[in-house]
Amino acid sequence: MVFLGIDVSTTATKALLMNNNGQVIAVTSTTYPFETPHPLWSEQHPDLWWEGAQHSIRGVLAQSGVDAAQVAGVGLTGQMHGLVLLDAAGEVLRPAILWNDQRTQAQCDEIHRRIGRQRFIQITGNVALTGFTAPKILWVKENEPGIYARAAHILLPKDYVRLKLTGEYAMDKADGAGTVLMDLQKRAWSEETLAALDIPRAWLPPLYEGPEITGRLTSEAARATGLLPGTPVMAGGGDQAAQAVGVGAVAPGIVALTVGTSGVVFATTPSALIEPAGRLHAFCHAAPGRWHFMGVMLSAAGSLQWYRDTLAPEMSFDSLLKEAEESPAGSGGLQFLPYLSGERTPHPDPLARGAFIGLTVRHTRAHMTRAVLEGVAFGLKDSFTLIQNAGLGAITQVRASGGGTKSALWRQILASVLEAELATVNTTEAAAYGAALLAGVGAGAWPDVETACSAIIQITGRLRPEPAQVEQYRRSYRVYRELYPALKASFEKM
């Protein structure tokens, strides 16, 4: 018995096969682009996800040699918050508006005006931000009324792939909470919010817990993918909730840290806790009966990618990071603000900008590289600190994943900045792995998500904070915290 996890990300659709011992048998990925047709816009056509899913599923079956009859369940995960608008026949009406699209600030303001900012936080656990789904719906209504008039269904990216696999309109509660159209405490669509925003309830699909079966593979989808008709497809979760499952962050005290293109600090909560000012995202977890806090920075490893591509394109990341080891902690007083794509937590500001601050003639490329690593770590500490102050109690361990955590130097910086033990686990494909694990729970391989995580997720490495670095980073972080407020007005003028 094996389980298939499908991850529909912004840049690729990945398929992962896992057996019931938690061993990854094979992984295949199919890449594709996204479009930025206007400033602040980010769009992608849903056909790319379905084409990528077909190619990756066939690829992972071929690579592994697994017979399709052995696949006991499919779990789905993917990029959150994207708006997929379909007509009554299930046809795509326009390219999906993605999570990193920033065009909807006016609609966010309108949501707060109609419902009240504090009331909206109490219902949904969040303030309205440009990345979320709800303001995108209002934007289409105001700017593309002809398309809006033909709309009949709203899905998120991975749920479009679900529709193509099963013919069913469905969504998991973790990803659904990220639309900010749900009542967080009730784990259900918010009738009050839908009424205030004039969004028809009929457009929204049924909601399911992460391991629940949402449909079964159609004959047409089976021919397209190589899977068997009738294979169950489970609800899964948005990429961050699935990633948390994939590293075992399903109980309070264990925090998941993701250093990918964006950076995420994710903490499980036993109830629907809310940060009073809405500075943290509060969503349902993919594990039934759990919720979570989440802080998001928009450019984490993306900052290092930009830095390398722009200033040292001839160097490998390994060489660049090796050179950064020559710089002392604190980068000789140099600071880097990682707001290259605007920011979400704790500064929900699409106009925030990146910066090197404190440059002198004695600074070298090694100082600049290390300052990028430290600036991202400080940005993540902003979210970490908010979570610590939100009433969760002791944080016993941080479990790290994502491309940025492959660097031993960056892991040590993160451990010292966060002042917590940093652990790595036995998978580098945490979101797809979490989706496969949720499929396994739904198929009966494990009785619940917590049991599955305990059985198959193993700690592969641990790093403790370095005391000398901790003192330096406390001083540097105090300066970092002063920089955004000092520059905010200048960013707006720019």
Q: What is the pLDDT of residue 8?
A: 98
The predicted structure's pLDDT at residue 484: 98
Mean pLDDT of 297-317: 95
Residue 149 pLDDT > 90, yes or no? yes
Residue 113 is predicted with a pLDDT of 98
- Helix pair angle (133-143, 105-115), 10° resolution: 100
How many Å apart are CA 96 and CA 88, to the nearest integer?
17
Q: What is the mean pLDDT of residues 145-166?
A: 98
Domains in the chain: boundaries:
2-235, 246-494
The two three-digit tokens of residue 461, written as one number = 């490495």
Domain topology for 2-235: Nucleotidyltransferase; domain 5 (3.30.420)
pTM listed for this prediction: 0.90
Taking each helix axis from N to C end, the angle separating 408-418 and 365-388, rounded to the nearest 10 degrees, works out to: 40
Integer Cα distance of 73 and 35 in angstroms: 33
Alpha-carbon distance of 396 to 454, in angstroms, equals 16
pLDDT band at 430 (very low <50, low <70, confident <90, very high): confident
Percent of the chain with pLDDT over 70: 100
Topology adopted by domain 246-494: Nucleotidyltransferase; domain 5 (3.30.420)
pLDDT at 392: 75
| pLDDT score for 15 | 98
Q: How far is it, in rounded angstroms, from Cα 127 to Cα 109?
A: 10
Q: Is the pLDDT of residue 62 over 80?
A: yes
Which candidate in 239, 309, 382, 448 is catalytic? 239
Q: Annotated catalytic, 175?
A: no
Predicted confidence at residue 390, as pLDDT, reads 83
- Segments of 203-288 assigned E as strands: 207-208, 213-216, 232-234, 237-238, 254-259, 263-269, 281-284
- Contact present, 122 and 72 (Cβ < 8 Å): no
Same fold: 2-235 with 246-494: yes
Residue 441 has pLDDT above 90, yes or no: yes
- Residues in contact with 409: Cβ distance below 8 Å, sequence separation at least 6, in sequence order: 321, 324, 325, 373
Q: What is the pLDDT of residues 386-429, one digit of tens each?
A: 998 887 767 888 999 888 999 999 999 999 999 999 999 988 78
Average pLDDT, the chain: 95
The torsion region of residue 90 among left (phi > 0), alpha (psi -120 to 50) and beta comes to left
Percent of the chain residues topping a pLDDT of 90: 91
Q: pLDDT tens, 197-213?
A: 999 999 999 999 999 99
Alpha helices in 266-316 (DSSP H): 301-311
Q: Quick one: pLDDT at residue 388?
A: 87
Q: Give me the phi and psi of 250, to 5 degrees please.
A: -120, 5
pLDDT tens sequence across 344-365: 899 988 899 999 999 999 999 9
Question: At what angle are helices 301-311 and 365-388 packed, to 10 degrees?
Answer: 170
pLDDT in tens, 174-201: 999 999 999 999 999 999 999 999 999 9
Instruction: Say if CB 438 and CB 240 are below 8 A apart.
Output: no
Backbone angles phi, psi at 7, to 5 degrees: -115, 110
What is the rounded CA–CA span in Å between residue 186 and residue 9? 28
